Structure 1
Amino acid sequence: MIKLSTGLREELAVAGALKDVLDGGFLRLYSGPVPADADAALSGVTLLNEISAGGTGTPLTFEGTAPGGVLVKSVAETWTGDNLTGGTPTFFRYVLSGDAGDASSSAVRFQGSAGALGSDMFISVLPLVDEAPLSFSVFQLTLPAQ
């Protein structure tokens, strides 16, 4: 289940557009214990990969339309990154630049499970291999109808 941070929910309540709030972020994959929610500090986890646009450290962006309430990654971008170490991810966290992973009720972020089929983020080749590239051709965030 995808968990939104308090900061993301508050920003959406004021700023409105999910795309505007999330553009400029990074997707981080971790192994270790999954934090209770997206406000919680990272503790006892290992950063396996940080995904950026083209793997160059360029922040990620989303498409300008969301048919059916589904926000998708920019089709012009390749979301990729080289694994920092090997291992099997347990969760991901989407964060904005400068997010140090500390406990925060104002940081804009969301997180979900990552790994095998049935996870919020399915990764087809596990475990991740040290220094191997990891790319996502599809990434979407669906807003519930109810």
Structure 2
Amino acid sequence: MIEVSLLEVLRSGRFGPIALGDSRTRLRHLLGNPDAYAITPSEDPRFEGIWLYGDLEFHFYDETDTVWMIYTDSFDVPSGGDAIGLDPWVLRWDMPIAEVRAALDDAGVGWEPNPSPPPDVESIQTIGDVQLGFPTGEGLQMISLYRGYPYRAP
């Protein structure tokens, strides 16, 4: 099991020992087999587009077979299942945007409104490139770490 602090992810954009651009092989080495798979472009589960650990989705870019996004939109309090000891900090499903902004400010995590959020979603981006999404009139429902599609390690 690896340990990850969501507060540190918000600050730094680093998900513990996992980095955007890591290979599928490295992710399996660090976390073991995923709890589930999603998107099935092939019949071989080693090449599934998304691996799930608890509430967390690790999205792979087909061309390079590397992680380009870590995402969740299905959580009460974010969890990484048995493979990831995730400290969710204060974040929870449907947390009002004003509460999230105040918590980020209190923790000294820089943030700004996302200049190009998805339709019907208010979004803020932290200094660590984490997007927090709030569908219009609702609280927190999306957390994602990515740096464009697809992310390619420098």
Q: Which has the larger radius of gyration?
A: 2
- Higher relative contact order (CA closer than 8 Å, sequence separation 6+): 1
TM-score (normalised: structure 2): 0.29
Higher helix fraction (1 or 2): 2
